[in-house]
Structure formats: structure tokens, C-alpha cells
Amino acid sequence: MNTCFYTTENETNITRARANGYKHLVIDDKVDAPCMVEIVSEDLDTDAPKLVVKPSYTSDKEPDEYVFLCKSFGMVGYSASFENKVSVIFCDNDYMLVTLHKGMLVLQEDTDTLKVFVAGVKNVPMIEKDNILWKNAKDLMSFIRYMGVKAPFPFDFEFMFELEGGVSVAMENFSLRHIDAEDIDISMGAFAILSESVDTQAIQEVEKNEKIKEKNRRNLDRYFS
């Protein structure tokens, strides 16, 4: 797969302190964006394993997907048949590693300049600035709190999102939807262990509450008997 990297940021070593798996995201010094890259794992036998973006082979083909280091991005809705799908890995200080799998993604390079990227779609619409759905890490983190057992582990997944709605020509009335079944576990095995502990704690809390309710019922029964 041809993966092209682009960034609006100057950082090359980004921490992920709350992650149970990869503790750093590193952009290799040889990466000269935009360029073809691969994302590899390094230092797996240490306390600070890394995800590293490295330059890959040069290809004459169009990229199959794009990867971005950014703090915000925009998505554009067009029609029910215009699919937009991205995945996001969260990092410290509101950095995100965003992959455009299909559709259109927009980056704000400066006050006046928008950079547009397209992957895997045709009949790309004209962009109206007022109809771009902008998202940052804080916005997307709001999805995480409703993800059940995944909620305590926002740095241990590559979360998948897609646009839905937006069938008007003006690209209005669309929203971002989380695709739970397509999330990728990047916790290096920690999630399976820790989530079991979370489940156990939740069950214990439910049992505790049920015992309290039962005790209260018995007290009421005695009071009215």
C-alpha cells in the first residue's frame, strides 16, 4: 500500500505518556514531507516502545492513503455515495496521527491556505469553507467517554471514524460517526488485561449497589411491618 505522509507541525518526537503500549510517536529525520512512508514499531523490549514514521520506497502511483501529523483537520460531506473514512491515534499535547483511508481531508496550513487531500474516490466536490467539518483532539475525545470498556484507554487504540449524512449539494447536515468494530488495538496486549480488571470492578460495583438496595428494602419492610 502506498502511504503518503504530510504534516502541518514541526515536532518530530511526540510523547504518549498515558498509553499502555507505544509511549512515543517519532517522525524519522529522513522523512521529508510530503513523501511515501511506512509506520513501524521500535524498542519493543524497553519501557518506552515507539511508533516510528520512516521513509519508504518511491512510487509513481497515486497514494492509497494519507497519514498526517496534525492538531486539527477538516472533512467534507458530499453525498451518500461519497465515503469519508479516517482513523486517529491520539498523542500528548493534542497531537494526532490521522490516516485518511478514503474520501477527502482538509488541513489549514495558515490563515488563508487550505491543503486538500483525496484518497480512493472520484467526482470530488468543490469545497465551501463554511461547510467543512473541523475536528481536533478535544472534539474527538468526547466520543471516547461513551465507548464503554474502551473509555479508560483513549491512547491504546487507533479509532476509526466516518462521515454520515450530508446528502445536499451544499454539503450540509453531516456528522462524524465512530466505527467501533473497526478500531485497532495498539496497547500491545495491555488492553485485554486491564479491561478485564475494569469489567471485574464494574461487576463488583453493581453487586455492591444491589446489596445496598436489598438492605434498604429490608429496612423498609421492617419499618412498615
pLDDT at 15: 98
49 close to 23: Cβ distance less than 8 angstroms? yes
Tens of pLDDT along the chain (225 residues)?
A: 889 999 999 999 999 999 999 999 999 999 999 999 999 999 999 999 999 999 997 667 788 899 999 999 998 866 666 778 999 999 999 999 999 999 889 998 877 778 889 888 877 777 777 778 889 999 999 888 888 888 889 999 999 998 876 554 555 567 788 899 999 999 998 888 877 765 555 445 544 555 565 665 666 555 555
DSSP assignment, residue 154? T
User: Rounded to a whole number, what is the distance in angstroms from the first to the last CA of the chain?
Assistant: 74
Q: Of 181, 172, 55, whose CA–CA distance to 125 is shortest?
A: 172
Q: In the chain, what is the greatest distance between 2 CA atoms, to the nearest angstrom?
A: 85
Between CA 162 and CA 14 the distance in angstroms is 26
Query: Considering the entire predicted model, what is its pTM?
Result: 0.82
> Which residues sit opposite 59 in a β-bridge?
none
